[in-house]
Structures are given as structure tokens and as C-alpha cells.
Structure 1
Amino acid sequence: MKPALSSKEIFFSSVVFYVLVVLLSLKLATSIPWLGVGLQVEPVSGEIYVASVDENSPAFNIVLPGEQLIAIHNAINAVRLSKELIQGTPYNFNIYKEFNYFFSLQSQVGSILSSNKIFLENDSNVLFEVTPNNTRPVSSLPLMFWLQLLIGGGIFFVSMSVLAFASNRLEAVNIFFSLAGVSFLILSGVVAVYTSREIALDGSVFYLLSIVQYYSSLLFVLFFVSVFCFYPMKVKQAKVWVLGLFGLSVFSLLHLMQVFEFLFFSVYLLFYIIGAIGVFFIILQYKHTRGFIVERASLRWLVYALITGDVLFFIISIIPLIASFELIYKQFFYWIALLCVYVGVALGLKKYKLFKLELWALYSWVWMFGGLVVLGLAVLLMTVFNVNSVVALLFSILAVGWLYFPLRHWLWENYAFGFNRAHYQERLPELLEIILSPKAVRSTKEQWEFLLRQVFEPVLVMHDIDDADEITIKESGAVLHVPEFEGIPALGLAGVEHGSRLFNVNDVSFLNSMMTLFKNAQVFKGEYERGVHEERIRIARDLHDDVAARLLTLIHKSEGTPQEPLAREALVTLRESINSLGGQKDQSLDELLRELQVDIKFRLAVANIKLYWDQDRRLYKKTLSSRQATNFKRVCQELVSNILKHANASSVRVEAGFVADLFSLSICDDGNTKLMKDWVNGRGVNNIRTRIKESGGTVRWNQRIEDELLVGTCVDIAIPI
């Protein structure tokens, strides 16, 4: 379905709406009588002083800066000036009696300002006559007016950007997030008007603005909380939850009707309930995103943004207490913190570089936690031990420098998400062992894949994927694309560490190091194997030219004697060794087993031992390398010799099979030789272990014991083919 508006049209409409809100705010802020007097409230005593007088104002050269004003008059009425009147906001009061009286005072002062002549009274009861202008010039509006509209516009345009660039703009999450931005822009316009008043506004206008402020705040919170009902995943019965959530807005009528005495029950309690529902939605999302890596990371991003905002709010509130000063434009800094939260949530909705989330969160939280430790310790010293604020702050800084920074370094080294250098260093010996393992164990491709599985523990390794020029993080960090190199096909790793986190930049860096190490190791192993091969060729050549020639001479000289068969057998064995050293072609496993069956059957028959032979038919297509074949034949000969010498057996069973790319051979006798714990491993057993290890396989002995009597020994051999 084609969207109703394009991205450009959405941005154009957003700009038009923002301009309209700004113009309406300007209209309301300038459509009031103006004296041109900038007032300042003394924080402790609440006394009102003239901070400045605009040179183009009607009060210029009549009222001087520094004057303390106590009241404002006209011909028939007078109102005493107070901090609440000038700087107060409607929702700072606890009870509706104060709330209504505030608007009553605003109306009285507004009526006085509408007079042709008014009088400002100082603390010496001197009256200054001033004729107010009917409207206020735009140039006289305070900086806070523009800053609030700027922050409101920032949040608004962030939300509209999410909507404009959304792949599906009709999704509930995009609509709710953008409507939250619209609500906040209206809120910022209202607050900008009444917080920038010179002295007072008309009471009825001020009350109407307070109602708009209340409902725009309520809608902002409702829309924002509703986002968590649909993102990162849509919770069950999401529409029902949202309808119920917005149904709570009915309770806002309690505020309009002023049912309770306290504003807490009519105003703030509803916001607390909606906030608690938002926490409940986050918990539901945590449950629903289990097993979904990207969605869980998106949820963490949103939660990090919210917690970061809470921390910033706390810091802004606590700094003036420690430093013993009143923070100018405190509300502006609160809104800056809210803008940071909103940008963070927007980035979470767009899944912006989720693979860097843990790193960013770690950096920001470590930084903020350091500040919180300083501030918290300072407040503790000031409130509990009555320590001077400067001394408390100095002590806190020293404590953090001596204790927190070393602790932070240790935590960073050992518990950083996916950035644990010690973890990677511990892997190096294991990686080198895997890389330098014999080729008979795994092919280069298999070695590389096995290495990746060992290091990253992915949920899935994907083959047959498109190649890339470099290592790439894809699908918001869920997949790591490993490019082709050294003839090894490209691979895709999905779900690092069993899906517990996303791939990150440190994984890319470590994988680059792994690739370099693997390439160098392959070069080293290739050179090593080439040297070994050349040395074997040399030994084979020497054996052929020297020992074989001497055996031939011996055969000719012993012809017709009992030593001739033995000499010919020795020559055959020597030629097999020469062939294996010379790297001859692979030998058929089926043929090798037939030769061994004949040889073993003949040797056992001499000792009146029966042979039972069971062989998997699938082995006829399998082969062993020349060296593997020689080692395997020598091992079988040695095992049969041990049975003949030590087992006192009546039968031997041989089972040859094929399981999971492994050739397996089991040789079992029913003899009663010594228990394995009493064996003394001689050269024969050690040679068996060495030959099997050289072939990349394993060998294991076990014995069967019945009624505390040994009834047989088995040897199990497994060789990769």
C-alpha cells in the first residue's frame, strides 16, 4: 500500500506545523501589556528586584535597576508581588485552593496591567507611575522562550523523521512515536508562553493554557508508553492494552471537576499509573524478546535511553544542592535531558548500529556513574555529617580517584560485553593448537570453520553466501559476514555466544587478527610439511638405494635356505615403508582390510585362535593416505602380536565400521591378561599411540570384567578419512 505522504511531504508538513505553533506562541506571548521591566527573585527571601529596564520601554528612566518592588497598583486595586506570582507555575501547588487562588491573582494583575496608568511600589512605599504598552515586542521575549520552542521542535522533528523514514509508516509504533512528538511540541509552546511572562497573564487565558499543558503532557506520556506495546515486538492483545491505557484518560476529568482537595490524586497519580504500566510493558517485551537477538538489543537500547535520562535528571537536580546555587534555566536542562532520551529512543526504533550498543552504553554509563558517585558521596557527607559543600566535593573527588577509577578499570578488563581481552588471550593457545593440527584431522576449510565455532560460539554457521571484500556486520549485529580468503569460501555467523549478544566492532577486530594468524600459520604449516615431505623423500631414497639393495643381495645369497622367506618379507615391509615415506597415492581401505584379514587369520590360526571378522560395506569406497595405511597396518600387526604374547585368548573379534567421517576398528579378545592398571607400557604400546596420533586419530583400551575376573580386552581405533 502506497503511503499517503512522501518523506518530503511529511517534512514540509512538519515545518509548516512547527511554524504555526511558533507563531501562535508568539501571538499569545506578545498580546499582553508590557512595562519593559526585567524582574529577578532572590532565591532565599523571595524578594523582587528590578534586574533590567528596556531602554525602549515605558518604564525606562522611571524605574531603575536594583529597586526592590513590593506591589503593583492601579486607581482602584493593588496586588502584592511575590515569587509565586511572577515565577510560579500552576502545577507547583499541592491543593486546589492554592491552584485557583494563583489564577485569581493572575487575573487581578492582568486587570491592573490593562489600565492606562499603573503604579509600581518599592520597599520604601514610593510609587512609580508607568503607562504600559498594549503589546509586547518580540525582541523583549527572554531567551528561555526560544530555547523551549527549540527543544520542543527538536523532539518534534526527531519523531517526524522516524515516521518519514519508516518502511511502513502505518505501523502503530511509528504513529504513536510521531504523535508523542506532536504532543510535546504543543506542550513546549504553551509552557514557553506562560514561563516568559513579564509579571502576569490574564487569569482565564492562563487557566486555558494550563489545561492544554495538562492534556498535551498526558497525551505525550500515553503515546510514548504505547510505543512499548508494539516495539520491539507486538505483545499479545496489544490493541486491548492500548485501548485500556487510553481509557485511563477518563480520569483526567477529575482534574477539570476538581473532585479531590489535592492535585496529587487528580493530576499526578494518573501519570504515575501510566508510568507503572510502561514499566510493565517493558517487562512484557523482555519476556517476548527472549531468543530474538536483534529485538532484545533494540529493547536494551530503549531502556538504556530511559535510564540515561533519569540519571541526567538526577544530576541536574543535585548539582545546585551541592554547589549552593540556583541553576539558571533549570527547566531548559531538564528538556535537554528529555531530548537526549527521545533521540536515544528514536535510534533504538531505527535499530541504528545496534552492534555498537554495548560499547556506547558502557562508555556512557561508566562516565555517568563516576559523576553519580562524586555527587552522591558529596550529598551524603553534607546531609548526614554536615560537612561543608566544598570539602565534601573535594573528598568525593579524591575518593573516586583512588577507589572508583581502579575498580572501573578492573570491571572494564573483565566484564565488558564482548570486549574481554583476557578472554581472547586465553583462547590463543587453543587457537594455535587448532590451526597447527595435522591436515589429516581436518581440511583447511574445516579447520577455519571449527576455529570460528570455538571462538564465537554462533547459533548458526551459514554457507553458500555472497562474498564481500571485508568482514561485515549485518542485520543490526545479528550476523557477521566472513569473506572468502586463502581459497576458503565465505561464511556467515549468526548469533554470537549462543545468541546472548550481538556482534560488535571488537569481534571484527579480533576476527581480522584471527585471519592474519590463520594465514601465517597456514604458510608456516605448509613450509613445515614441505620440509617434512622432502626429508621423507630423502630417507626413502636412502633406504631404497642402500638397505633395499642389501636385502636383495641377502635374498640371492640365502636362496633355498630357511632365511629366504624372512628376507623376502623384510623386503616387502621395507618397500611399504618407502612407499609411505615417499608420499605415494592413497590406498583403498577395502583392499587394506582384506590383506590384514588374511594376515591376521594366518597368524592367529598358528596359535589355534579363532578370528571373527565384521566389516561395514560402505568402507569399500574409502581410502587412507599412504602414511595412514602404513601406520594402520603396523598398529594392527602390533596388536595381534600382543594378543599372541600376553592374552592367552581362544578367539578374536574384529569390527570395522564408518561413523561421521571416522573409520573405526575394534579388536577384542577373550583372554585373561593383566589388568590395565598393572600394565607397563613398553615400546610397542607407545608406538601404537604415536602412529595413531600421527594419523590424526584416537586409540583407547578397555577391559571386560565379570565376577571380578578379566574376560577380555578391546582396543578401539578411530581415524578421520
Structure 2
Amino acid sequence: MRRFATPVLLTLAVGMITICIALAAVSAALQHPHLGLRLAIPDAGPGLLIRQSDIPDAEIPAGSRLLAIGSARDPSVPVSGVTLIEEPDTLSDYETMQAFRADQHRLSQVLRDGKVTLHLLLPEGQIEQVSLQPAPRRSLSSLPPVFWVQILTGVFAVGFGGWVWALHPRRLPQLMLLTVGVGLQMAANAAAIYSTRELALPQNYLAWLGGTNQIGAQIFGAGILGLFLCYPRRIAPRWVVLGQLPLVVGWALVNQAGLIHSNAIGFQLPTILILLGAILCTFCQIRATRGDLPARAALWIIGICTGLGTGSFVLTRSLPALLGLPLAFPQGYAFALLGIVYLGFARAVLRHRLFDVERLALHTLFYFTGAALLLLIDAALVLLLSLDQVPALGISLFFVGIFYLPLRDATARALLKRRRKAQPISELVRAADEVAFARDDECRRKRYEKLLALEFGSLSIEPLPEGEAVTLPRITQEGIALLLPAVPPLPAYRLRWRDDGRRLFSPMDLSRAEVICTVLQQLLEGRRAYRTGANDERTRIARDVHDNIAVHLLGALHSPLSSRKDELIRETLADLRRIIEDGDRQPDAELSEILGELRHDLAELLAVTGIALDWPTTPDTGLRLPDPMAHALRSILREAVNNARRHSGCSRVTVRIEPRPEMIRVSIADDGRGIPAEVLRGFRAGVTSNDAPGHGLCNMRARVARLGGTLELSQAPGGGVLIEALLPRADTEVQQRAAE
């Protein structure tokens, strides 16, 4: 059996039971004769006030009064305000309650006799009798909204409590929470039936429903008391927590048996005593949870919801009944207040978002105080100054806006001034900038930890193990810890104990952590982009110096003419200026001019070492090349010819340039000893290190690749090396990217 008792099955079982109980309550409320009248207790005068009549066979004007009802067996049964009393438990003693039940039974018998006679007092003051046939049962549409509020409150309480209990069925807090829900449904369902009756119910119905309501209310209170005895810390033995349940239920049964002559003492007094016991347990829990922030947060949630819900219920229901004062509003809506208590208990037992308790407490305090102040001012203006309700409400809103809202803000600042003050965003960005641009990873890590310590004041800041992945900041351990994701090269961190252990981490801290991680990530990405750009620029300058400046300087070194040396040096300085200042941004140049200058420079360079240059003149096509392509063409030819001069031991270098519509084909060949195997392997492997053989060849390939072309290296047909490059002309987008 145990293996089938999963949380899902337990929750479904409890849910089905509570729904069946609710359906039974609805069915019981419909199993009574129905007149079709909407009655109310008048402020003064005899009988009951008829607000609306839905009787099809008789027109009864609104505002008439029902004085009595009769049948052939019982001609006249008088009715009064006591007939329609919503909560019989508010009657002063047991004898009065018995008399009330007897009158209800007599009226119920009249309704079940068939045809009845209504004794009416019309608004004009005339006495009139109306005969009609009551409907055998009520319709769903005749049930007022307050009925459904009570039914749904009970379903929610047991259903939600059953789910919480099913998660940990052996734990006392979960069991007490379910007990609270069971008591709430018992009391709410019974009250829903008798408090929304049209006129009367049979005596046995009232006795059964009243007893169920009182027993349910006592179970509800006993569950609350038991919950305070065992949660957040157990301050009483298990037998005390469970033993007070039968004690409270036994008291309710004794009261139902009529052994206690005062219903106020038999029912209302135990309710208040249970509340006082819960308050006493709260003080004990405050002492027991000292130093345990999550437990203290759970206690705060329970205390807030208990103060709002149970306190409001007692003030509006139990205390007026004990003092003989009129009730504030219908009982069904008071049950909705108890639903607030239950929701708070469930949240505390589930330990859901305990770190958010400060915001919950402040908002509850401010909104509840504002609402109470508004009602007090409005009531004072209406009762003391006899103002109409609409002007009184307007003046109340004015006073609340002028005086309460500024006072609320000042109170919030006073309550929050003990918090660690967050850094201004400018200071935060400056600190994150220091982290991002630290000289090394160790320095960066220390600065990051210093930033977190200054921002959150955590007692512990420790890197997470590598196996524990965190993608977004999140709060764990019920607010004790805050997890921060890794921001490479910085690791992920766990922060524990906010403000030196005085507070839990809150959603505000979570938002602040998200800001810190986002700012730091953007700064680190900017740093990486800066370093990548700087490295790319260094590579470009090194490539240009290697492929172009070196050739110019070698030409100047070996030139026998001083004028030629000066010219080559001036060209070298111009190239250096262009490389440093303008990069590749130069105007378009004609292909014939580029090739003519290169042929002259390279022939002079080769002639110094006795190497012949075979480079026929290319026909002038008027073709103009964009600067990226012209620069690549110059660099490839200079590097290839210089490599042949330095490494091949050749006697001839052959250069061919073939302009085509879609590309320019460039080939450079020599008749030397050929290319070493390690250089060819490095070229094919894409080695680009400055220390590796074939670095100039890799530079040439990189230049061609930037233009979207290809570069091939092979053995020449007659021996030596053959370099072939294809430079596309049509792909202007690639050339534009190369220029950038």
C-alpha cells in the first residue's frame, strides 16, 4: 500500500473528498421549499422586509413586510428579525437557541404543507394576504454569492492543505495545516447552508448544521494552536500538539449537548482563548527562533496572516457576539478572511519565498493601516458630523493622501535605514570597470570579491565547485545564500548571510546581483573586443612591415645610386605613415601604374643579386583597383619575389599577371631549389607564428583570404616554387570588409 501513496495520489484523494463534501453541501442547501422572496431584517418595525419578489403568480411590491406565514394546519406563524438571524451561535444562551430552533421548525413545517398564505404589510400601510404554492426545492440561481464564497473557501482550504500534507505526510506542521483546512471546510459548509436559508430550516437540520459549524470552528482553532506549538520550531512534545485536538472537540460536543447554558461561553470564549494561546505561542516561537533567519521569516509570515485574518474574524464576529453588538458584515465574507490566514500558513509551511518577508510585512502594514484609517475617518464624518457617504468618502481620501502617505514614506525610510545602503550606479560601474580591466585573473578575482563584499556585506563569499552550474542569479537556502553565475574568466560565487548575518537575501538583492553580472559581463566583453582589435591591428602592421617595408629597405640598401636610395627611403616613410595612420584607406589606383612601379622596384632588387626578372608588360586595360585589392597585390608580389631572392638560390623569377572579368590571376615562379618540406607542411597546416617557417607565405594567404580569393603553393614545372593567387574583382562586399 505504501508504494501507491505518492504525493499525487494523496492530493487527488483529498481533492476528490473535499469536492464531494462541497457537492453534498450544495445539494443539502437545495433540498428545501422555496417561496421566491428575497428577505432582509429591517432596521426597525415588525416582520421581515421584502426586497424582491420572484413569485410568478402574485405581484408583491418591494418594500412590503412579511408579518406571518400560515397553512391549513397552522394558520399563522409570526416572523421577526430573529427568524432570519444569520448566525444562531450569537444567541445569548442555550434556552434562547432552543426556542429559535423550535420557531424555525414550525415555519419549515408550514412551508412543507403545500399551499401557504403570506400575511403582508404593504408600503401604503394596508394589510394583505397572498396565497401561493412554494417550489418543492431551491434552484442554484437562488443561492446568493455569500453561499459560494463559503463553499469555495472550504474547498480551497482542504484542497491546498491536502497538497501540502501529501508532500510530507508524516510531519506535524503539514498535518496541523491539513487539520486547519478540515475545520475550516466543516465550519464554512455548514454555515453556508443555514446562513443563506430563505426563511427557515427544520430543527434537526439546524441542530446538525450548528454542531458541525461549531466543531469545525474548534478544529480550525485547535489546528492553528497545534501549528504554533510545532512550527517553525517545536516548543511542545508531540503528544501535547496532538492531544489538544480531542480536548477542544470534546468541549464543542459538551456545548452542543446543552451542558453549557451560555453559548457565548461554550463557543465564543474558547475561540478567543485559542487566539490568546496562539499569541502566547508566537512569543515562545520568537524566542526559540532567535538566530535562525529562515525560521524567523516563516514566523513573520504566520504572524502577519494570523493577525490580519483571525484578528479580523474575531473583531467582526466573535467579539461583537460576546459583547452583544451588531455584526459588521455577513459571515460568509468573514470566512474569506480565514482563507487569508490559511494561505499564510501554507506559504510558511512550504517555506515559499521566505526571503520576501520584509516586503510582505511592510506592504501589509501600510495597506492595512491605510484602509483602517480611511474607514475610521469616513465613519467619524458620517456618524459625528452627519455627512453624506459620498462627501465623507472624498474627504477621507483627501486626508489619507495628505497626511498618511507622507507618514508612510517616512516610516518606510525609518524602518529601512538599518539596511546596508546600495552603491550608486556610477560607483558600481566604476568598481566593475576596475574588475574588468585588472592586470591578471587573480587580481580581477580579488577585486570582484571586494565589490561583492561592499555591495552585500556577506559573511561568506566562496567560489562554487566546477560541477555546480549557475546560469542566472538566484536565491537559495530560503534566503540564506545568493548564487551568482560565472562571468568568464571569473568563477561562479555563493554569497551567504546578508548584512553580516542580520538579514536574508531579498528580491531587491537578486535584482542588484543581476545588474552587477550584466554590467561586468558587458565590460569584460568590451575588454575582450578591445584586446582582439588591438591584436588584429598589430598583426596587420606586422604583416605590412614584413611584406612591404622590408622590400623597400632592402632595395635602398643594395641600390648603388644615392638618389635611388633616397627615393626608396621616402617611399618607405610614406608606406609607414599610411600603415600607421590610414591603414588600407587609399583611393583607387590603375592596374597598369601599380604593375609598372612594382616591375621597376622588383627588377632593381633582383638585379643586385644577379637574378633575372621575366615579367612582360601587361596590356593597359584601364582597370582601376580598390585600395584593399591593390595593397594585397603589391604585398603578394613583393613578398613572393623577395622570398625567391632570399631562399631559392634561383637565377630567374617569372611573374605573370592576367586580368580577367571576374578576377586577376597572379603567378610567381622561380627556377631554384624548391620549397622545403617543413615550410610546405606549415603552409598547408595554416601555421602563422612569427617563429615558424613560411610566415611570409601565410601572410600572403591571409591577404588573399580577406579578399575572398585563393592562394596555392606548389613545385614549378622546371623545378623551383610556383605561387598562384586568384584575386576576385566582383565581390566588392568582401573587399569592403577587408578595408574595414
TM-score range, shorter chain: 0.5 to 0.7
Are the equivalent residues in 2 in contact too, given 1:354–1:477 (CA < 8 A)? Answer: yes
AA partner of residue 408 (structure 1): R
Return the offset for 1:518. 6.1
Are the equivalent residues in 2 in contact too, given 1:144–1:332 (CA < 8 A)? Answer: yes
Instruction: Give the alignment of 1:455-470 within 5 angstroms.
Output: 455-465=455-465, 466-470=468-472
Instruction: Give the alignment of 1:570-649 within 5 angstroms.
Output: none
AA partner of residue 67 (structure 2): I
Find out whether 1:90 has 2:92 as its counterpart: no
Name the structure 2 match of 1:107: 105
Are the equivalent residues in 2 in contact too, given 1:152–1:189 (CA < 8 A)? Answer: yes
Please identify the structure whose Cα radius of gyration is greater: 2
Are the equivalent residues in 1 in contact too, given 2:432–2:519 (CA < 8 A)? Answer: no
Find out whether 1:67 has 2:64 as its counterpart: yes
Name the structure 1 match of 2:120: 122
Find out whether 1:401 has 2:401 as its counterpart: yes
AA partner of residue 111 (structure 2): L
Whole-angstrom distance in 2 between the partners of 1:449 and 1:48: 75
Whole-angstrom distance in 2 between the partners of 1:200 and 1:236: 46
SS of corresponding position for 1:279? helix
Describe the shift of the 1:269–1:127 C-alpha distance in structure 2 as closer, same or farther (beyond 3 A).
same
- In structure 1, the gaps of 5 or more residues are 318-325, 528-721
Name the structure 2 match of 1:341: 341
Return the offset for 1:496. 0.7
Return the offset for 1:82. 0.9
Name the structure 2 match of 1:12: 12
Deviation digits for residues 681-708 of structure 1 (CA, Å, limit 9, x no counterpart): xxxxxxxxxxxxxxxxxxxxxxxxxxxx
SS of corresponding position for 1:158? helix
Are the equivalent residues in 1 in contact too, given 2:177–2:223 (CA < 8 A)? Answer: yes
Name the structure 2 match of 1:49: 49
SS of corresponding position for 1:100? helix
Describe the shift of the 1:140–1:341 C-alpha distance in structure 2 as closer, same or farther (beyond 3 A).
same
Are the equivalent residues in 2 in contact too, given 1:309–1:337 (CA < 8 A)? Answer: yes
Return the offset for 1:492. 0.9
Describe the shift of the 1:64–1:189 C-alpha distance in structure 2 as closer, same or farther (beyond 3 A).
same
Return the offset for 1:199. 1.3
Name the structure 2 match of 1:507: 509
Are the equivalent residues in 2 in contact too, given 1:358–1:417 (CA < 8 A)? Answer: no
Whole-angstrom distance in 2 between the partners of 1:136 and 1:526: 77
Are the equivalent residues in 2 in contact too, given 1:71–1:81 (CA < 8 A)? Answer: yes
Q: RMSD of the TM alignment (CA)? A: 3.9
Return the offset for 1:349. 1.6
Return the offset for 1:493. 1.1
AA partner of residue 488 (structure 1): L
Aligned sequence identity (%)? 20
Return the offset for 1:213. 1.1
Name the structure 2 match of 1:581: none
Q: TM-score, normalised by structure 1?
A: 0.63
Return the offset for 1:456. 2.0
Which one is further off, 115-124 or 45-54?
45-54
Return the offset for 1:84. 1.5
Name the structure 2 match of 1:563: none
Whole-angstrom distance in 2 between the partners of 1:481 and 1:493: 6
Whole-angstrom distance in 1 between the partners of 2:286 and 2:185: 30
Deviation digits for residues 335-370 of structure 1 (CA, Å, limit 9, x no counterpart): 333223322321222122223332244334323322
Whole-angstrom distance in 2 between the partners of 1:433 and 1:188: 58
Describe the shift of the 1:16–1:362 C-alpha distance in structure 2 as closer, same or farther (beyond 3 A).
same
Which one of 50, 56, 76 corresponds to residue 78 of structure 1? 76
SS of corresponding position for 1:424? coil
Are the equivalent residues in 1 in contact too, given 2:378–2:393 (CA < 8 A)? Answer: yes
Whole-angstrom distance in 1 between the partners of 2:67 and 2:29: 24
Deviation digits for residues 69-110 of structure 1 (CA, Å, limit 9, x no counterpart): 201123445321112202342112122232221112112212
- In structure 2, the gaps of 5 or more residues are 318-325, 530-740
Name the structure 1 match of 2:239: 239
Whole-angstrom distance in 2 between the partners of 1:488 and 1:239: 53
Describe the shift of the 1:263–1:315 C-alpha distance in structure 2 as closer, same or farther (beyond 3 A).
closer
Whole-angstrom distance in 1 between the partners of 2:22 and 2:429: 65
SS of corresponding position for 1:502? coil
Are the equivalent residues in 1 in contact too, given 2:188–2:335 (CA < 8 A)? Answer: no
Return the offset for 1:235. 2.3
Q: TM-score, normalised by structure 2?
A: 0.62
Deviation digits for residues 178-197 of structure 1 (CA, Å, limit 9, x no counterpart): 13212222222211221232
Deviation digits for residues 592-641 of structure 1 (CA, Å, limit 9, x no counterpart): xxxxxxxxxxxxxxxxxxxxxxxxxxxxxxxxxxxxxxxxxxxxxxxxxx
Whole-angstrom distance in 1 between the partners of 2:200 and 2:405: 50
Instruction: Give the alignment of 1:132-151 within 5 angstroms.
Output: 132-151=134-153
Whole-angstrom distance in 1 between the partners of 2:63 and 2:387: 34
Find out whether 1:424 has 2:410 as its counterpart: no
Whole-angstrom distance in 2 between the partners of 1:44 and 1:419: 57
Describe the shift of the 1:330–1:435 C-alpha distance in structure 2 as closer, same or farther (beyond 3 A).
farther
Name the structure 1 match of 2:180: 180
Name the structure 1 match of 2:296: 296
Are the equivalent residues in 1 in contact too, given 2:223–2:245 (CA < 8 A)? Answer: no
Name the structure 2 match of 1:251: 251
Deviation digits for residues 287-314 of structure 1 (CA, Å, limit 9, x no counterpart): 2222222222122122222233368669
Return the offset for 1:226. 1.2
Describe the shift of the 1:427–1:293 C-alpha distance in structure 2 as closer, same or farther (beyond 3 A).
farther
Are the equivalent residues in 2 in contact too, given 1:94–1:263 (CA < 8 A)? Answer: yes
Describe the shift of the 1:18–1:521 C-alpha distance in structure 2 as closer, same or farther (beyond 3 A).
closer
Whole-angstrom distance in 1 between the partners of 2:205 and 2:512: 64
Name the structure 2 match of 1:485: 487
Describe the shift of the 1:42–1:518 C-alpha distance in structure 2 as closer, same or farther (beyond 3 A).
same
Deviation digits for residues 500-536 of structure 1 (CA, Å, limit 9, x no counterpart): 2211222123234445666789999999xxxxxxxxx
Describe the shift of the 1:46–1:88 C-alpha distance in structure 2 as closer, same or farther (beyond 3 A).
farther
Instruction: Give the alignment of 1:340-359 within 5 angstroms.
Output: 340-359=340-359
AA partner of residue 149 (structure 1): I
Return the offset for 1:113. 2.3
SS of corresponding position for 1:126? strand
In the alignment of these two chains, the number of paired residues is 515
Deviation digits for residues 427-467 of structure 1 (CA, Å, limit 9, x no counterpart): 94998599589989x93323322332333222333344324
Are the equivalent residues in 2 in contact too, given 1:30–1:136 (CA < 8 A)? Answer: yes
SS of corresponding position for 1:176? helix
Are the equivalent residues in 1 in contact too, given 2:190–2:213 (CA < 8 A)? Answer: yes
SS of corresponding position for 1:39? strand
